[in-house]
Amino acid sequence: MGAESNFIWLAVGRLVPAKDYPNLLQAFAQLLPSHPEACLWVAGETAGTQFNRLIALASRLKVGSRVRWLGLRRDMSALLDAADGFVQASAWEGMPLAVGEAMAMEKAVVATDVGGVRELLGESGLLVPSRNPDALASVMREVMRMPEVVRQSWGCAARERIGAHFRMD
């Protein structure tokens, strides 16, 4: 499952309860009937019982063929470059570096309103309540329906925000 002409959502993070991948898979399952071209790429270590539970859930939700488990990756910039949007469905967070990386790569970001995500995104992304797959699916659908030029403008605003407020110096 390469990028082709599909809409690629990228999620990045360890496969732990805090990242709430069941929430993301449920939202993605709701999204597919109206957007069967959508793909979800998940970058994070793929081992252990949590991974097995997620594979089983994806199968029960009938989304397994549209989800690509990428494993632990060191080429985030290439993955973000290939993605059309970035999604973070966490139940709780601190200050998620993956969201900041997506912003720096000019991606439209959909994220749950937990921890420092609101502070990080400001007005340059879309927030949803945590543990709410209906809201997550709705906003993901909204991003997919945006003209590409609008998604690009969100991405540019995100990069400007990272550069202006979260520089290393």
- Does residue 86 surpass a pLDDT of 50? yes
The stretch 121-141 carries a mean pLDDT of 97
- Does residue 1 surpass a pLDDT of 50? no
* Structure-derived torsion over alpha carbons of residues 149, 118, 102, 66, reported in degrees to the nearest 10: -80
| Burial class of 131 by CB neighbour count within 10 A (0 to 12, 13 to 18, 19+) | middle
- DSSP secondary-structure letter at 95? S
Indicate the pTM of the whole model: 0.95
Handedness of CA 13, 87, 138, 6 (dihedral sign): negative
| Residues 44 and 13 sit within 8 Å (Cβ to Cβ) | yes
Q: What does the pLDDT read at residue 117?
A: 97
Mean pLDDT, all residues of the chain: 94
The residues that bridge with 111 in the sheet, in sequence order, are: 88, 127
- Does residue 4 surpass a pLDDT of 90? no
Q: What percent of the chain has pLDDT over 90?
A: 92
Pairing of strands 67-71, 85-88: unpaired
Q: With H, G, I as helix, E, B as strand and everything else as coil, classify residue 33.
A: coil
| Residues 107 and 155 sit within 8 Å (Cβ to Cβ) | yes
